[in-house]
Structure 1
Amino acid sequence: MWRRCRCTNRIIGYILFSLGIAILLALLLPGFFWWFILGFALIALGIFIICH
């Protein structure tokens, strides 16, 4: 049961990480400062979930 939980958390973490990277790539468009903050937060959250 704990393994399944941990696995799900890892999947969620990778999804958040991927979303963050996608948002950072959207930064190539001008004027997306808040998207940068959101993307960075998602990457940090994804790494945190993957590590825990």
Structure 2
Amino acid sequence: MARPRKEEIQKAVRQSVSFDPEQFQRLQEYCTREERSVSWCVRKAMEQWLKDKGV
């Protein structure tokens, strides 16, 4: 049985982000240690940053 399609507003948006090599290495190490994907960690960090900014 096929998975139900998500409504357009629920679909994730792809975006390219650049990191300097040291940042990316530290991010990968953290993700490995926490058993999380890079995208999950970036989404969580962005959510916290937006919350801190009152957005």
Higher helix residue share: 1
Q: Give the TM-score, by structure 2 length.
A: 0.33
Q: Give the TM-score, by structure 1 length.
A: 0.35
